[in-house]
Amino acid sequence: MRVIEGKLTGAGLRFCIVVSRFNSFFSEKLLEGAKDALLRHDVSHHGIDIVWVPGAWEIPLIAKEAALSGKYDAIIALGAVIRGDTTHYEHVCAEMSKGIASVSMTQRVPVSFGVLTCESMDQAVARSGSKAGNKGFEAAAAAIEMANILKQMRTEKETDQNA
């Protein structure tokens, strides 16, 4: 039985972090967590590009452009959408989530999901560096692992084809 598991080392890998400016109090905390995870796992400062977008709705388009550039091993989506008094929350969360998943599947580049979708400010506080940890850190760690899994699988595929 063969087991493929991603390593948590980012040496030599490149990442694009797409971060929403809306709810910047939370986005900045998520970004700090993501940068911390990448740097702790041997990603160089030069291996990290950060793109600020107006809101969560805009994340999928920029994630797709980053994927199409061919420069990145993985993309990290960060932001915070907090329920308000209208149905806007449902629309933004659903379409942004679908868009991010679509980029990952169609472009074959991992896009990790570090966008908080919270019912309240308290939930957002807890998930951006408080009681529930930092989802930006977790998303960056997942991006490192996924980049390494794909790298390993693609290398093995090339080796098998050349054999």
Q: Hey, which residues are catalytic here? A: 88
Contact 112, 143 (CB under 8 A): yes
Contact 17, 47 (CB under 8 A): no
CA-to-CA separations, 89 to 32, 68, 130, in angstroms, rounded: 25, 28, 23
Distance in angstroms (rounded) separating the CA atoms of residues 28 and 136: 9
Q: CA 133: distance to chain centroid?
A: 16
Phi-psi region of 70 (alpha: psi -120 to 50; beta: other; left: phi over 0): left
